[in-house]
Amino acid sequence: ALRALLNQYSDAAANAPSSNGKAQEVSEAQLKEALAEHRLVAYLQPQISCQDRSVKGFEALVRWHDKDGSIITPDRFVGVAERSGLIAELTQQVFASAIRWFADHLGNTDYTLSLNTSASSFADTTFPSELTTLCIKHRLAPHRVKLEITETSTAENPSGALELLTQLRVKGFALAIDDFGVGYSSLEQLVRQPFSELKIDKNFIIPLAKSEEAAKIVDALIALAQALKLTITAEGVEDERSLEILAKAGCDYAQGFYIGRPMAPEKLLDWLKEYRQSQPM
């Protein structure tokens, strides 16, 4: 029955109009130009503890600041980058800018920084050492950096991924399986790869407050993560009620528009100050 529910949700997720229907992708040439002009910026979205609501860390989410002042979201260019081979350059720029800003401004806290990876990073055997070099350069301890990996990227080449992920774990990085529940071989990748954390996909979290079915799935996913001794983050928390349900269900961390939207780094310190002031001591 759970499998049927999960399938139903997977289909819904695949077909959901993510924001306003199918995104209009940019051209490869446009992306090349944006990379050359360093127009891609790592925005940061807060993650809090469900239990005491203290800030836990931030996820870096890439945004493109276009020449006309508009902001282009990743659904319009991450796929293009992956298919055109520009993804390595994109990853390099996003990781470097996120790590630099984070180390400079929040280096002396114990917040974590989550970074999204692509399948291609797992074909690149220099990835673990390059990431380590970047962290050393900016004096950021690897245990404060979490790599978010989708199950599809490990499913493509499971043995290669296993070797690379093991190296990353040995170097001290945390590894989160992203968008858990919407791929196909979730459970297999989950037990096979050395993940330390599971992120429940937002398609299960957004309807949480209104759907008993979603609540049951979330309970089951939390039980699964606990059985496997994985930390759990819920993405897509859009209301107070969902945060309460997650806390009660034993979820560790939460992320979503209700808590904070992805924001430009220069806005983050003000957000932090305000958030801390709004919390009961």
**Residue 78 binding ligand C2E, by CB under 6 A:** yes
Taking CB under 6 A as the rule, does residue 148 contact ligand C2E?
yes
Report how far residue 59's alpha carbon sits from residue 45's, in angstroms, rounded to the nearest whole number. Answer: 5
Q: What is the per-residue binding string for ligand C2E in 152-191, x denoting contact by CB under 6 A?
A: --------------------------xx------------
CA-to-CA distance for 45 and 73, rounded, in angstroms?
14
Please tell me whether residue 62 binds ligand C2E under the rule CB under 6 A.
yes
Q: Which residues between 63 and 102 bind Mg ion (CB under 5 A)?
A: none
CA distance 92 to 243: 34
Cα 245 to Cα 199: distance, rounded to the nearest angstrom = 16
d(Cα 185, Cα 74) in Å, to the nearest integer? 24
Report d(CA 142, CA 113) in Å as an integer.
10
Q: How far is the CB of 206 from Mg ion (least distance, A)?
A: 12
Q: Which CB atom, from 44 or from 103, has the smaller least distance to ligand C2E?
A: 44
Amino acid symbol at 106: L
Q: Does 262 bind ligand C2E (CB under 6 A)?
A: yes
Q: Quick one: which of 44, 46, 112, 118 contacts ligand C2E (CB under 6 A)?
A: 118
237: contact with ligand C2E by CB under 6 A: yes
Token couple for 123:
């074909």
**Is residue 148 a contact residue for Mg ion (CB under 5 A)?**
yes
